[in-house]
Amino acid sequence: MINPANRTKTIELSLIRKMFEVTNPNAINLGIGEPDFDVPKNIKQAMKNSIDENDTHYTPNKGYIELREEIVKKFKNDNGINTNPDNIIVTAGASEGLFLCAQAFIEKGDEVLLPDPGFLSYEACVKIADGTIVPVDCTMENEFKIKAEDVEEKITDKTKAIVLNSPSNPTGAVMEKEDVKAIADLSMDKNFLIISDEIYEKIIYDKKHYSPAKYSDNVITLNGFSKTYAMTGLRIGYLTANENYIEEMLKIHQYNIACASTTSQRGAYEALIGPQDEVNKMVDEFQRRRDLIVTRLNDMGYETVNAEGAFYVFPKIEDENFVLKAAKEGVITVPGIAFGSNGKNHVRMSYANSYENIEKAMDILEERVVNG
């Protein structure tokens, strides 16, 4: 056997995926970060039309111009970000966007600040790029929100970038405006890059979303259609940054996938120009489920922050065997330690499952795990 590259030895396969292997197909899955809703009908029809019209060939590397033009409008209207079609790259999901950032800008010796707890792909992408990870504590006392003063303490002359994710996976935390702006100001003063993962921006309940690119030029903003429009398997996302950053990422994008799927791009275009009724219904239902799961967990004695966005809760559960016990009883969750050292004694639960299934899952946990 040929030895793998050293950089791959430093990363592990996803612990989220591993949890799927310890259960039966009838288990209630509170582990997966995927909306349980169908793609809206108008988006499906646009993709069907694309295939019927033989629109299945290469697109420009950056994506269809009409899609990029709509993304420009979206950034201006929703985020206060002024950009242009040349400064947009349509990607194979926000995940590819993250990988492009790491490969284009991170190298050996560079320090990258990551929220702890934070989405596990951030750490893997930095390690593959030979970067050095510097965790920034997001504590339960601060409702898991990343604070500007904690970021400033970690900045050195080796700091190359920070990854921000609001609303957050795994905690559902939404950053405060003053922290977003303060970190944006730091990025200009200290000259480092902000990689802003805003994939959950539309799934937000009690707060308003703020984009750091509104306040700084040193920002790459990542977004996509997976969470907002339940288009996870269609692998379609996008990013924007200034022209110098775009040129470097385009090099990686060109030689990696050439262009995003034509069919998915047509669906994405329809998603932006079409009605948003289904999105609003989905968010309302997520909020209803959040209220249910937070109440039930707190009633069981598991301290749980009332997540303000995304579709995750991150209760404090000190029983080290909780996840395995729950899995054996038919409820899949993810150990918090998968998301960083501050995830210890926590468990991530996704409420991207039906209200009825969440009720059943909470009954199982209460009757067989907590009191069993």
Asked if 157 contacts 126 with a C-beta cutoff of 8 angstroms, the reply is no
pLDDT value at 136 more than 80: yes
Select from 230, 360, 204, 224 the least CA-distant residue to 284. Answer: 204
- Same domain, residue pair 171 and 134: yes
Does some domain include residue 107? yes
Question: Average pLDDT, stretch 45-49?
Answer: 98
pLDDT at 24: 67
Q: How many percent of the chain have pLDDT more than 70?
A: 97
Q: Is the torsion defined by CA of 50, 55, 60, 64 positive or negative? A: negative
Q: Which pair of structure tokens corresponds to residue 82?
A: 């002024």
- Same domain, residue pair 293 and 246: no
- Quote the number of domains for the chain: 2
- Same domain, residue pair 237 and 366: no
pLDDT at 16: 57
pTM across the whole model? 0.95
pLDDT value at 361 more than 60: yes
pLDDT at 14: 64
- Specify the CATH number for the domain of residue 232: 3.40.640.10
Q: How many CB atoms lie within 10 A of CB 28?
A: 23
Asked if 134 contacts 159 with a C-beta cutoff of 8 angstroms, the reply is yes
Predicted confidence (pLDDT) per residue in 337-360, tens digit: 999 999 999 999 999 999 999 999
- Same domain, residue pair 187 and 212: yes
pLDDT at 17: 56
Q: Using 50, 70 and 90 to split pLDDT, how confident is the model at 10?
A: confident
pLDDT value at 8 more than 90: no
Question: Average pLDDT, stretch 258-282?
Answer: 98
- Same domain, residue pair 250 and 145: yes
- Same domain, residue pair 113 and 223: yes
Range of the domain at 234: 41-273
DSSP H or E run through 46: helix 41-52
Question: Average pLDDT, stretch 270-279?
Answer: 98
Predicted confidence (pLDDT) per residue in 240-253, tens digit: 999 999 999 999 99
- Specify the CATH number for the domain of residue 296: 3.90.1150.10
pLDDT at 5: 81
Predicted confidence (pLDDT) per residue in 74-91, tens digit: 999 999 999 999 999 999
- Same domain, residue pair 54 and 21: no
Q: Using 50, 70 and 90 to split pLDDT, how confident is the model at 108?
A: very high
